[in-house]
Each structure stands twice: as structure tokens, then as C-alpha cells.
Amino acid sequence: MGVEGGMKLVKFLVFFFNFIFWLCGVALIVVGVLAQFALHNTYRIKDASASGVPIVIIGVGVVIFFIAFFGCCGAWKENYCMITTFAILLALVIIVEIAAAIAGYVFRNKLGNIVQDSLADAVSNYKNGTDDFRKTVDKMQEDLKCCGMNSSSDWRSFADDGNSVPDSCCITVAKGCGKNKLSDESAVYQKGCHDVIVDLLKSNIQWVIVAALVIAFLQLMGLVFACLLMRGIRSGYDVM
């Protein structure tokens, strides 16, 4: 009875951990989609390499979502083959997550150059860009309270007078507020958007890395319990 009771607990833990994995899968999908949207829409980052980490996060989230459902069914039905398959797939996911965390850590050192190039394009294409493009750049500057790439002086070619900035650079945004205010610290933000965006992205990436490692640890625990349940089922114990 002692072994049987222990296997019942293991079965419950496998089911419980899989439910957590399912929630983690949903969370990773949401985080990956938001990161992809932020990189390519909110911050206008067009470098293809910037999509690497968000895509990996989304992919891992989708895989975890289905693997967790598969594991729940295997634990509930006490099916040895399903639990074995689940354990193998989960081990592969853990490896991918660790690789993604390492890639994210390495990628953070490239953020500066990627953001620099993207902001340079945003500034140079602002005047001839579409309304949606300008609205996106304006929203970025308003939300982040910054102006230009490195400073407000990046907008020197914005107007013929060489002394105006987009109204979104203004501390208090109003129509025409940026005219002849390029270096006016009381009216226009002087700090560029580059450092603000890099710091924000690095902070978010660090949280993603921490989350990936925590999830990988929980999955490792789930893998251990899955192996124990496999052993119990193979030994012919009734875990019900």
C-alpha cells in the first residue's frame, strides 16, 4: 500500500506540473508575440536577427502547450508509451529553452547596433514615410520621452530652418510646439531614444531569460516525476 500511495502522489504531481506547463506555454506565446510586436512595430526595429528570440519563445510556448496536454492525458490514462514520449519531448524542450536563454543573453550585446540602425532609418525616412509610420515614430517618442536617435539634434534636417523637431519631441505636445525648439531644453526632450530603448529591451530580455530558466527548472522536476511514474506503471503497480 505504501508504494501504491506513493505512485498516486506521483501521478497527481505529474498532472499538476503539466497543468503549470500548459499555463507556461500560454504565457510564453503571449510574451513572444508581444516582444515581436514591440521590436518591429513599436520600436521600428527591422533587423531580421531581432526576431530570433521572440520566434523561439513563441515556438517553445506552442510546443509546451501541446506537450503539456499530451502529458496530462498520459498521466490520467496511466499509459506508459504516452508518458515515455512526453518525457522525451519534455527533455528536448528543456534543452531548447536553455539554448534560447543563452541566445537571449548573447543577443542583448547586439541590441545597441540593431536599435541604432533602426532609429537612423526612422529619422531619415520620417518626412517621406506613410502616416502610419510617422504615427508610430511619434508614439515612440511621446511614450519614451525621448527625441531623435542620440539627441534632438538628429532632427536638424527635419525642417528647412534646421532648428525644428517633430511635435512628438515636445515635453508638452501641441501642434507646432517643435518649431524652432531644437535645443530648447524647456520645451523639447534632448535625450535620444537609443539608450532608452536599449535599456528597456535589455531589461525585458533579462526577465525573459529568468522566466525561461525558472520554467526549465519546473519542467525538470516534472521530468523526474514522469520518470518515476513510468517506473511505477512498468512495474505493474495500480496507481489509481
Using CA atoms, how far apart are residues 22 and 28, in angstroms rounded to an integer? 10
Does 33 map to a domain? yes
Does 163 map to a domain? no
Mean pLDDT of 103-124: 77
Mean pLDDT of 44-56: 58
Per the prediction, the chain carries an average pLDDT of: 78
CB of 123 closer than 8 Å to CB of 26: no
Instruction: Identify the domain containing residue 145 by its residue range.
Output: 5-151+191-238
Which amino acid is residue 17, in one-letter code?
F
DSSP 3-state assignment of 156?
coil
Does 75 map to a domain? yes
Does 19 map to a domain? yes
Does 168 map to a domain? no
Does 171 map to a domain? no
Q: For the chain, how many structural domains are there in total?
A: 1
CB of 32 closer than 8 Å to CB of 64: no
Mean pLDDT of 219-238: 75
Evaluate if residue 88 carries a pLDDT over 50.
Answer: yes
Does 78 map to a domain? yes
Of the candidates 216, 236, 237, the one whose C-alpha atom is nearest the C-alpha of residue 17 is 216
Of the candidates 86, 102, 66, 52, the one whose C-alpha atom is nearest the C-alpha of residue 212 is 102
Report phi then psi at 188, rounded to 5: -130, 140
Q: What is the pLDDT of residues 117-138, one digit of tens each?
A: 788 888 888 888 888 888 888 9
Among 91-105, 132-146, 150-164, the least confident range: 91-105
